[in-house]
Amino acid sequence: MAKVFIFRHGETFDNKDHIFSGWRQVDLDEAGVEEVKRIGKELKNEKVTKAYQSDLIRSKHTLKFVLDSFHQQVEVITDPRIKERDYGNLTGLSKDELEKQKP
């Protein structure tokens, strides 16, 4: 029986700073790297043969850290259709500041 594991990216600098990321290229912060390394350890005894990622750097780095230590021979497929929503003009803006301006 095949298993499917679904997880999003680890915490990013935008997540920490409450910034709308959308399709913006933002990387994992230190906490995010630790989160995804933990996922990798939890999956170390699972057979992983194929993995999907979006074309965003946070997705690519998440998968890299998850697979790095325990899953070397995995087919990785990059598909831009699975990235998160586009926030349009909100991309890069502070969620906190927007809440103050337009509660």
Model confidence at 96: pLDDT above 90: yes
DSSP states along 5-37:
-------BHHHHHTB--TT----B-HHHHHHHH
Among 9, 11, 35, 61, the one annotated catalytic: 9
Residue 9 bears catalytic tag: yes
Residue 97 to residue 103: CA distance in whole angstroms: 10
For 16-47, what is each residue's pLDDT tens digit?
999 999 999 999 999 999 999 999 999 999 99
What structural domains does the chain harbor?
A: 13-98 (3.40.50.1240)
Write down the mean pLDDT value for the chain. 94
Mean pLDDT of 82-89: 94
Q: Is the pTM of this model over 0.85?
A: yes
Among 42, 71, 75, 84, the one annotated catalytic: 84
